[in-house]
Structure 1
Amino acid sequence: MSKSVCVIGAGVGGLTAAAYLAKEGCKVTVIEKSTTVGGSAGWYFRNGRKFPTGATIAFGLEEHGLLRTVLDDLDIDLPAADLLHPMDIILPQEKVSVYKSTELWEEELNRAFHERSGDVLKFWRALQRIGDDVQAVTESRVSLPIRRFYELGSLPKHALKHPASVLRIAWYALLSVEDLMKKYDLQSYQPLRQLLDAQLLDAVQTDVSKAALLPSSLALTIYRRGSFAIQDGLGQLAKALASRVKELGGEVVKVSPVESLTYDKSRKQWNVTSRKCTSSFDFVINNSGISFGEGTSYEGEDEFSWGAFRVDAILSDEVRQGPLEGVELPFAYQIVPQFDFSSLVKNTHGPVYATFHSTQDMKGNLVEGEVTMTVSLHTDPNIWSTYSEEKYKELKERLTEEVLNEIDRVIPVKESLLFAETGTPLTYERYIGKTAVGGSPITVKNAVLKPKSVRSSLPQLYIVGEQVFPGPGTLSSTLSGYYAARSIMKER
């Protein structure tokens, strides 16, 4: 008799797990609070236009890439364009263009950091070697912390074939990115530090002083493997996974927030009650990031969590006559603020991350003459509830203006602005039930010493998504979904 599985939350982690389990014959039901699937890699509508919820650029879709391998496992074809120049990083005194080509990237490093170019190139080449080692181990599908032999994946075989690579990883396991910088006397070189912090605060939720070297090496060098624009947006990944779940006999129930989750010890089953679904299941996978009782989530266990201050905007197509002319969308800017604005410094941290996309209406049709812009910054998720209604509104307006000013010094968006609306952590709480997003900072403790398992402390309940190993991001969430599905398949 096939086992039944309830997946709470239709983010890419939960949908990946659901698709693998449905393929193995499990009876799968995915329950989603929102009207759309995808979570942080989904979409929503404002002012008659489609906006990506979070992530906009995909990784791991290169041939034999981590995400491509998962999609191949599930017989999913997902058209995507390879982005050769996906991003510009705007430092206070310099612009650094990110390229897929190693040759062009090293030329850019030489130009931007000319006074220390020799040391910077040595540092980055060492980082690339470490990243290659980490990539190979990740491809073995090892899942931390290891509690069962199968969670080693094919790592033992890889270690026998490539002992030097595995020894290098062991050597660097407890180091931060700053430790590698010290090897080349670059720890006090501010231009490089600013660039690395801008990248790491977005990718691993912390800066060079705390970012674990092993996962950070992969995050910092991943553009050389490839970054991709998925046709019609990254939300198509979740849409394709949801379709595959249904093709394999599973069910995806939307607009159905979970109201209660309890375990029946006598029957060894979970009772799940939601708006549209009340049933008992052999296994539960929590992909929502929300707690439904003690042990059902890692929510609140982080030593630091962050919220998002976000601006959704529609621009006239005239904006493409400037720096965006001839650029394939999505295109991203990471802008390190000049700190001229006290409210921006006080209420947000990290770079201003702006991406540009072709505009779609509510039916998914392209809208001529418009460009969609999404902007996000990190902010303290707790401060916003302390403001009065008047103060809250005033601060939102002031920060929106200052964020647009920061972008405007790079690309003239204000003169092309047709529509803009701002969200804070309280907006996220209203629509998805939590103020914090992004998962745990990828420190040595969280990534190596005490990584959070997809296995919860409760029987037959698994946790996937940005809260667990291997961490935040669409690619990592996808892998966590695979790890949870593998555990259920091995032990059912």
Structure 2
Amino acid sequence: MPMKYDVCIVGAGFGGLAAAAELTRKGMSVAVLEASNELGGSAGKYERQGYRFQSGATVGMGFEPGGVFDRLYTSLGLDKPSMTLLNPIMDIHMPDRTIHYYSKKAQWYNEIEHHFPEDASRIQAFYDEVFRVGEMVDAMVEKLPVFPPKTLSDWIRLTPMISRNSIQLLPYMNQTVYDRLKKYNLHQNRLFQIFLNGELMDSVQTSVERCPAFLGFTALQTFHKGAFAVHGGLASVAEQLSKYIKESGNEVFLRHPVHVVEKKGAGYHLHSKRSKVFESDYVILNNSVHNLHDTLSEELRNQSYIKPEKEKSREAWGAFIIHAGVHEEVFNNTDVLYHQFIDPNHPDDLHDGGQFLLSLSDPSDDQMAPAGMRSLTISTHTNVSQWWESEDYEAAKKRMNQRLIDTVNHYFPGFEDRLDLVLPGSPVTFQKWLRRDQGKVGGYAPTGKYSWIRSYSIRTGIKGIYQCGDTVFPGAGTLGVTLSGLMAAKELTR
């Protein structure tokens, strides 16, 4: 007999766990079905030889007072995990300088004056606009609207959100970040654009010329609201949410891939391993839109408004990632845990090693590495297709691995010689372990000022089946996927 629940959630990433925790709080019976042996999805972890490595996402956002996770933890009655507030958020290592990216506004504006003296006043005015617009977008998204609206009820529920502030957002919804730079005559400042491109690639997966202004501004201001290194990695958050779900009487099943979801009577059957079947009235899919059509039965696929050929044509990045251990003395001269590197020979390349992020474990966090060592994650965006079409996959992986290590070694001499365990991974690795189709991660890359209109909402077009995660509005990052999970939970319980 199938195991019966009110809601079954496919995937224990941040979106699925947030939805499950919220539905649990509201008294519904919930089962979370996760294919892998770990929680957190692309923000999960794994352990090797005394190190704990973060699968993908590493920076904690939304834990500041009033932030997404601060509100979620308060509503669930949970204590937040131990964490370190980052200031600077990161160091950006550029060909001729290192920019300290401070979270505090006054310090950041002083840093702007130091590195961009001729354009400092214009850049500061640009950031004043970033902060103002970002706060307006946050205020709207925090109300968890279904966006983009797909049904009449979605449009009706958006009506109360129309205000003087929301109307002021309209110009930023039909311009790119590059368009706004033109307003301040900053579009010719190449150095500042290299810097902005690095931050937008890290947060929105695109460049100033292709990023809708309201999305880019929201991402840029989020850095300054509070960035944290969560002790034990972001997987600590996933573990807390899972514990809350289970201690409240619901279930989280690891190593339970969902092979197919099919309609059965008034509800749904989810088929998992060894012919195990779960039955529910509602389903939330947190396994990405990339995997949607492989998860649904043919009958349900035909009902979805998301068509396979359209979905597969959308631009999406993969990630090339290195997990490694390093002797702590390599970074003894800096307290900064996050470092963004711009390849000194190719500063305009935004992927495949042209720019990338290195995350170091906090030396006070003994969960992450043996004594005297630090665990680290290096991650760069990469074109997915090349890894599946490569004639010599291992040689390609070795070349990319060496390119990233050489760049870090350029800025931190001795880095390569002091490495311990080195574990590189490509989109092929992400498909194998996280079951992401072709290894696509980070959602869809914005391609222009109106690309947000093509965003997928939490609605699949199938009654009773919702979706959340990095491929669903408001997009990538732990904040975005968590908000989409809460949006799905809110709509499901109407």
| TM-score normalised by length of structure 1 | 0.90
1:122 aligned partner:
125
SS of the residue 2:114 aligns to: helix
What is the rounded CA distance, in whole Å, between the counterparts of 1:171 and 1:340 in structure 2? 34
User: How far is the alpha carbon of 1:183 from its aligned partner?
Assistant: 0.3
How far apart are the structure 1 equivalents of 2:420 and 2:212? 42
Deviation at 1:366, TM superposition (A): 5.2
Structure 1 residues 298 and 206, CA gap change in structure 2 (3 angstroms): farther
Q: Residue 46 of structure 1: CA displacement?
A: 3.0
Deviation at 1:464, TM superposition (A): 0.4
> Does residue 83 of the first structure (1) align with residue 86 of the second (2)?
yes
Structure 2 residue corresponding to 1:74, chosen from 54, 73, 76: 76
Partner residue, 1:278? 277
In structure 2, what is the Cα distance between the partners aligned to 1:364 and 1:104?
Answer: 32
Pairwise CA distance, 1:349: 5.8
- Which range moved further: 55-64 or 267-276? 267-276
Q: Which deviates further from its counterpart, 209-218 or 165-174?
A: 165-174
Q: Please tell me the residue identity of whatever aligns with 2:224.
A: R
Residues 351-393 of structure 1: CA deviation (Å, up to 9, x unaligned): 11111014899x94752110111101111111112123xx221
Indicate whether 1:467 and 2:471 are aligned: yes
Asked if the contact 1:312–1:421 (Cα under 8 Å) also holds between the matched residues in 2, the reply is yes
Residue of structure 2 equivalent to 1:387? 390
Mapped pair 1:141 → 2:129: no
Q: How do 1:87-486 and structure 2 match up within 5 A?
A: 87-147=90-150, 159=162, 163=164, 165-264=165-264, 267-275=265-273, 277-289=276-288, 290-291=291-292, 292-293=295-296, 294=301, 295=304, 300-301=311-312, 303-322=314-333, 324=334, 327=335, 331-339=337-345, 348=352, 351-358=355-362, 364=367, 367-388=370-391, 391-412=392-413, 413-434=415-436, 435-442=439-446, 443-447=448-452, 449-486=453-490
Partners of 2:63 and 2:156 in 1: how far apart? Answer: 21
What's the secondary structure of 1:5's corresponding residue?
A: strand
Count of residue pairs brought into register by the alignment: 473
Question: Taking structure 1 as reference, are residues 67 and 114 closer, same or farther at Cα in structure 2, changes over 3 Å only?
Answer: same
CA drift at 1:432: 1.8
Q: How many Å separate the matches in 1 of 2:240 and 2:305?
A: 27
- Distance in 2 (CA, whole Å) between partners of 1:125 and 1:456 is 38
CA distance in 1, matches of 2:355, 2:30: 40
Write the distance in 1 (CA, Å) between the matches of 2:263 and 2:133: 44
How far apart are residue 147 of structure 1 and its match? 4.7
Is the 8 Å Cα contact of residues 333 and 354 (structure 1) preserved in structure 2?
Answer: yes
SS in structure 1 at match of 2:371: strand
Query: 2 CA distance for matches of 1:24 and 1:357?
Result: 36
Give TM-score, length-normalised by structure 2: 0.89
Letter in 2 for 1:83: L
User: What is the distance in 2 between the residues matched to 1:382 and 1:320?
Assistant: 35
Structure 1, gaps ≥5 residues long:
none
Identity %: 28
Q: How far apart in 2 are the matches of 1:135 and 1:379?
A: 29
CA 1:455–1:157: 2 relative to 1, 3 Å: closer
SS at match of 1:438: strand
Distance in 1 separating the partners of 2:450 and 2:118: 35
Shift of 1:176: 0.8
Cα 1:347–1:121 shift into 2, 3 Å: closer
Deviates more, 1:368-377 or 1:230-239: 230-239
| Cα distance between partner residues in 2 of 1:301 and 1:186 | 36
* 1:303 to 1:259, Cα distance in 2 relative to 1, 3 A: closer
8 Å contact 1:140–1:154 — kept in the other structure?
Answer: no
- The worse-fitting range, judged by mean Cα deviation, of 345-354 and 216-225 is 345-354
Q: Describe the superposition over 1:186-243 as per-residue Cα deviations: whole angstroms up to 9, x where unpaired.
A: 1121101101110111111111111011121111122221111222221111111111
3-state SS in 1 of match to 2:361: strand
Aligned partner of 2:10 among 8, 11, 16: 8
C-alpha separation between the residues in 2 aligned to 1:3 and 1:444? 42
Per the TM alignment, residue 63 of structure 1 is displaced from its structure 2 partner at its CA by 0.7
**Change in 2 beyond 3 A, CA 1:104/1:155:** farther
Q: 1:136 to 1:368 in 2, by over 3 A?
A: same
C-alpha distance in 2 between matches for 1:136 and 1:72: 18
Q: What is the CA–CA distance in structure 2 between the aligned matches of 1:298 and 1:113, rounded to whole Å? A: 47
Quote the Cα distance in structure 2 between the aligned partners of 1:87 and 1:298.
40
| Deviation per residue, 1:97-131 (Å, 9 max, x gap) | 11121111001111111232222222222222211
> C-alpha distance in 2, partners of 1:351/1:463?
31
Aligned with 2:441: secondary structure? coil
Mapped contact 1:286–1:296 kept (Cα < 8 A): no
1:431-477 deviation digits (Å, cap 9, x = unpaired): 12221111012454343x23311010222111100010101110010
Q: 2:44 aligns to what?
A: 42
Are the equivalent residues in 2 in contact too, given 1:440–1:446 (CA < 8 A)? no
